[in-house]
């Protein structure tokens, strides 16, 4: 079981961020929210590891003490 | 007999009021077991007791089977229990078997599943059967037992007014069309439903979570081409923003379940002039149908803190209530009495200490918690209560149409599976290295084909010493428990279900067909200790 990575891990971070914005480009708020929800589920399934997912949920809630 | 006639079965008194000699007794009569409520759970309990030679009197304030179809979905484990009680096959013959489910979102099918039942079981994975038939067959079984002299009785229009636990018995005051009479019971089993008057009379708690939603159930009789499948809609065009379910029952009756939301006028919604247009929107204008039964329900997920209170034991919806998603109501009630009857029998015989009943609480509270957890989660998915839960729910549904990975997240009801009593004080530690997890101590035995029948039928309702490729004595008496050996050939199914990676096994099976202990080989001292443990003597 691996730990949740909370140090820089995406090569070409700016490119990724631009692609994330571009995917939302032109969408209504409702469609963007739906896309984000789908994205969370797609990524969560890719990770799969329940401990990493729990740590990610804690990290996203900005409760860093539980995320380690 | 079961043809549709002018009068439906639930309109005919099946156990009409008859004066009992107990009403004329000079001093209150004393009965061994009195059961309140002639629903599926109360009737199953009475049959179980009487089958084991214990006098059982069922009291019901009504004299007919359930009004309307109500519970319709019965799972394999309860059918196996009914098989043990001598009326499983009647249910299966009348019932509708189904395996395929379809899930729709908006106007499109997002996926289809098949329960793919495992081969080599006497009973199917699920049947749909109206509760009134279910109760009728139980009543028929009671009548057949009465003809052979079994100590079982149903008293219609006997309404319990007062219940008082006296420590070594329970006093009851009962109202009938001919006035009141007192009755005493060694043990009282309350199977009087979610609104249990017994629970209220005893001032006991029933706390949990209320779900703010209304559901319309319409049972319609129609000649339709829909296949025998479970169809579930999220947010369909004919019931925008809500859910819907279509399920087939015997006699051309279809169950339609429509979510209505919270702020509605129930009396208005129930009127045929409002129900029929809704159904036409769903079924199309040219489908001819007739309403058999309409009801609006709300639900809660809750349970009593303890199911046993002195000499009064609660079972079924009286003890715990769940949402209907997953068919976990009647199905779990039947597992309650399955768990209770043999324990009470041993206590009444003086073979087991009264503390054995504590394990009823532990094991069935565990079962109730499992059902409440599953049915609450289904309800949260089906009827999202916040903007974000709806957003995530819809994301799951949209993804499920495109990708397999999202399908396990779709929750249109997690169908009832038998409860495994992990951690029960009656279990011995699992000593069979490599043994299958599904038959670990606490699990209900998995059925398997034997040369001349099925395993569960052979187990019946007594303690059994089961061996597969291992030596053991043919019989053993442990503190008044007579164990008989059942030796199985290690056929493919038996090996897969009971050996796993082991080459031989010895199992101790309880009267409710749950595994109490297992080892690779027979050891008399270990077996004696496990039996003592399984009857609460440790």
For B61-109, the pLDDT digits (tens) are 999 877 777 888 999 999 999 999 999 999 999 999 988 999 999 999 9
Distance CA B317, CA B125 (A): 23
Domains of chain B, CATH where assigned: 209-299 (3.30.9.10), 437-534 (3.40.30.120)
Numbered residues of chain A with Cβ closer than 8 Å to any chain B Cβ: 33-34, 37-38, 40-42, 45
Q: Is residue A39 part of a domain?
A: yes
Q: Is residue A60 part of a domain?
A: yes
> Which of B213, B219, B301, B300 lies closest to B257, judged by CA?
B219
Distance CA A45, CA A59 (A): 17
Q: Is residue A8 part of a domain?
A: no
How is residue A44 written in tokens? 């969560």
Chain B closest-CA separation from residue A24 CA (Å): 16
Query: How much is the pLDDT for A64?
Result: 57
Residue B516 has φ and ψ, to the nearest 5°, of -95, -35
Q: Is residue A51 part of a domain?
A: yes
- Give the residue on A whose Cα is nearest the Cα of B389: A37
Report chain B residues whose CB lies below 8 A from the CB of A57. none
Q: Is residue A12 part of a domain?
A: no
Report chain B residues whose CB lies below 8 A from the CB of A34. 391, 394-395, 398
DSSP string, B140-204: HHHHHHHHTT-SEEEETT-EEEEEEE-SSSEEEEEEETTEEEEEEEEEEEE---TT-HHHHHTT-
Q: Is residue A49 part of a domain?
A: yes
Query: How much is the pLDDT for B7?
Result: 67
Instruction: Number of A to B CB contacts under 8 A, please give it.
Output: 25
Chain B closest-CA separation from residue A34 CA (Å): 6
Q: Which domain holds residue A44?
A: 28-67
The residue of B106, B235, B392, B408 whose CB has the most chain A CBs within 10 angstroms, and thus the best one to mutate to test that interface, is B392
Q: What is the pLDDT of residues B501-538, one digit of tens each?
A: 999 999 999 999 999 999 999 999 999 999 999 999 98
Query: How much is the pLDDT for B2?
Result: 41
Q: Is residue A44 part of a domain?
A: yes
The residue of B106, B389, B391 whose CB has the most chain A CBs within 10 angstroms, and thus the best one to mutate to test that interface, is B391
Chain B closest-CA separation from residue A44 CA (Å): 10
Are residues B395 and A45, on separate chains, in Cβ contact within 8 Å? Answer: no
Distance CA B321, CA B195 (A): 10
pLDDT at B178 over 90: yes
Q: Is residue A17 part of a domain?
A: no
Looking at the structure of chain A, the number of domains it has is 1
């Amino acid at each position: 079981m691996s730990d949740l990575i909370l140090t820089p891990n995406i090569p070409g971070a700016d490119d990724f961020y631009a692609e994330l914005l571009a995917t939302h480009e032109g969408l209504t708020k409702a469609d963007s929210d739906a896309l984000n929800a789908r994205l969370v589920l797609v990524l969560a399934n890719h990770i799969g590891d329940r401990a990493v997912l729990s740590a990610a949920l804690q990290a996203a809630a900005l409760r860093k003490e539980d995320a380690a | 007999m079961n043809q549709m006639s002018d009068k439906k079965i639930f309109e005919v008194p099946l156990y009409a009021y008859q004066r009992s000699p107990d009403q004329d007794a000079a001093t209150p009569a004393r009965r061994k077991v009195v059961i309140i409520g002639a629903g599926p759970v109360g009737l199953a309990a009475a049959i179980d007791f009487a089958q084991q030679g214990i006098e059982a009197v069922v009291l019901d304030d009504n004299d007919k089977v359930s009004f309307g179809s109500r519970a319709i979905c019965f799972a394999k484990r309860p059918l196996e229990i009914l098989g043990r009680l001598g009326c499983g096959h009647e249910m299966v013959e009348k019932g509708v078997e189904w395996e395929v489910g379809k899930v729709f979102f908006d106007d499109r099918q997002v996926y289809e599943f098949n329960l793919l039942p495992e081969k080599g079981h006497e009973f199917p994975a699920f049947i749909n059967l109206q509760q009134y038939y279910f109760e009728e067959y139980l009543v028929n079984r009671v009548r057949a037992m009465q003809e052979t002299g079994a100590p079982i009785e149903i008293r219609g229009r006997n309404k319990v007014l007062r219940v008082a636990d006296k420590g070594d018995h329970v006093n009851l005051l009962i109202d009938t069309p001919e006035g009141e009479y007192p009755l005493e019971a060694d043990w009282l089993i309350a199977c009087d439903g979610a609104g249990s008057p017994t629970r209220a009379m005893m001032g006991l708690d029933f706390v949990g979570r209320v779900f703010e939603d209304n559901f319309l159930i319409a049972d319609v009789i129609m000649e339709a081409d829909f296949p025998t499948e479970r169809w579930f809609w999220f947010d369909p065009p004919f019931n925008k923003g809500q859910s819907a379910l279509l399920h087939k029952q015997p006699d051309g009756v279809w169950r339609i379940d429509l979510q209505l939301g919270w702020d509605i006028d129930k009396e208005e919604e129930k009127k045929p002039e409002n129900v029929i247009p809704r159904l036409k929107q769903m079924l199309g204008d040219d489908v001819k149908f007739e309403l058999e039964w309409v009801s609006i329900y709300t639900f809660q997920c809750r349970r009593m803190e303890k199911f046993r209170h002195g000499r009064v034991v609660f079972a079924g919806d009286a003890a715990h209530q769940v949402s209907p998603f997953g068919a976990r109501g009647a199905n779990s009630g039947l597992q309650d009495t399955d768990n209770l009857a043999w324990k009470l029998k041993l206590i009444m015989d003086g073979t087991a200490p009264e503390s054995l009943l504590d394990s009823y609480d532990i094991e069935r509270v565990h079962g109730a918690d499992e059902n409440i957890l599953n049915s609450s989660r289904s309800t949260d998915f089906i009827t999202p209560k916040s903007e974000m839960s709806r957003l995530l729910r819809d994301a799951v549904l949209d993804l499920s149409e495109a990708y397999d990975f999202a399908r396990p997240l779709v929750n249109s009801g997690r169908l009832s599976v038998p409860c495994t009593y992990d951690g029960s004080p009656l279990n011995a530690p699992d000593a069979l290295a490599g043994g299958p997890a599904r038959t670990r101590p606490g699990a209900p035995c998995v059925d398997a084909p034997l040369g001349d029948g099925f395993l569960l039928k052979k187990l019946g309702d007594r303690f059994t010493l089961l061996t597969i490729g291992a030596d053991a004595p043919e019989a053993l008496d442990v503190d008044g428990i007579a164990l008989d050996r059942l030796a199985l050939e290690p056929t493919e199914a038996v090996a897969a279900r009971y050996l796993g990676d082991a080459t031989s096994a010895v199992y101790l099976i309880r009267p409710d067909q749950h595994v109490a202990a297992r080892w690779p080989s027979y050891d008399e001292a270990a077996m004696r200790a496990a039996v003592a443990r399984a009857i609460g003597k440790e």
